[in-house]
Amino acid sequence: MKLINPIKTCFIISAFFTAQVLAEISIVQTKFGTYKGADVTQYQMQNSQGMQLKIMNYGATLTSLKIPDKTGNIDQISTGFNQFKSYFSDEYNDNNPYFGGVVGRYASFLKNGRFSREDQTYQLSKNAGEHHLHGGQQGLDKRMWQLKKFYKTQDAAILQLRIYSPEGQEGYPGNLSVVVEYQLTQSNEIRVRYLATTDKTTPLSLTHHAYFNLNGFTDKVLDHQVQINSSAYLQPNAENIVDGTLAKVKGTAADFNQPTMLKDAFKTLKSGFEHYYVFDNPKGDLKPVATISHQNSGRSLQVLTTEPGGLLYTGRYTSDKLAREDGTQYGQYKAFCFETSKYPNGPNIKNSPRTYLTPGEIYDETTVFRFAW
């Protein structure tokens, strides 16, 4: 009779169960803080590849994203904080960088905080000089969202949050109901889907304001390579307001149709990028629009979206005083955003695509952040 080695058997069983655990996807919730007497909850999602995503229900905000590099080392690659109170520090609020929030009702600038439709003019709140920015003083990123559902499947951890915005909030017409769904998949994707309905025609442009740094904040993002599928961007004026005028990228520093290092583009455009690129996507299909990569870490991010365009922002105005509690330093050019959305200032631009949501319609847009290493 062949004797069984109990130590070897124990090791095999342990390895089997470890593999089973790693193969599963998980989602757990913890208390993250308190806001106006209500508990702020943080949801942690993890897949078997080592990706770990944290979302809090205040602002439906991404607070943390950790992913491996090509050698297996896991690093923090998103801006955010480990404590809820840090989102209210003087440094954060003076700079107001919208770290990780779901922005709305209308992303980016609305000139003079005003738009007209069907012979009626609507005056919105002004929170950026004479203009309206990212939904106003109390945009969706600065309000508590409610849990609709969180669960997991074999392929993804899924979180659904919802919020109600009453008519007149920040000056907007219509009662608006919004659901955002986050999925962390086994394919290393963060899928962000927005669903919304209204009882009165209202402008609506939701975006995700996550900031990423694929080198894990060891340096600025100038060592990132960028490729964007776009032939034109919306030309801004001196106040960074667009009027629908297209500027061709060919032959300029803003041309990323071929992969280009940011440090090379910065040689010409030293202030960095805050450009809204227009995509050729009239049907609103889910299409790849950009790839951003970092050679030394092996990390890359591919962005897919149904939106008509997206804004590349390289963090020109991010304060150097901002840092995560563990010492991870943020600051100017230390992270980038790729904010997919409707046209900035869309209600004031003739024929801007899908700017308004009307009663009976369902707003349904998706952006996918697909990571690899």
User: What residues are annotated to the active site?
Assistant: 209, 339
DSSP states along 266-335: HTTSTT--EEEEEPS-TT---EEEEEEEETTTTEEEEEEESSSEEEEE--TT--TT-B-TTS-B--TTS-
**Beta-bridge partners for 26:** 46
178, 303 Cβ separation under 8 angstroms: no
* Structure token digits, residue 120: 């009626």
User: What's the rounded Cα separation, in Å, for the pair 196 and 248?
Assistant: 33
41, 147 Cβ separation under 8 angstroms: yes
* Structure token digits, residue 101: 């929030």
Which amino acid makes up residue 292? I
Query: Nearest CA to 333 among 290, 269, 260, 279?
Result: 269
User: In this structure, how many other beta carbons lie within 10 angstroms of the beta carbon of residue 238?
Assistant: 5
- What does each C-alpha distance from 224 to 217, 269, 324 come to in angstroms? 12, 16, 22
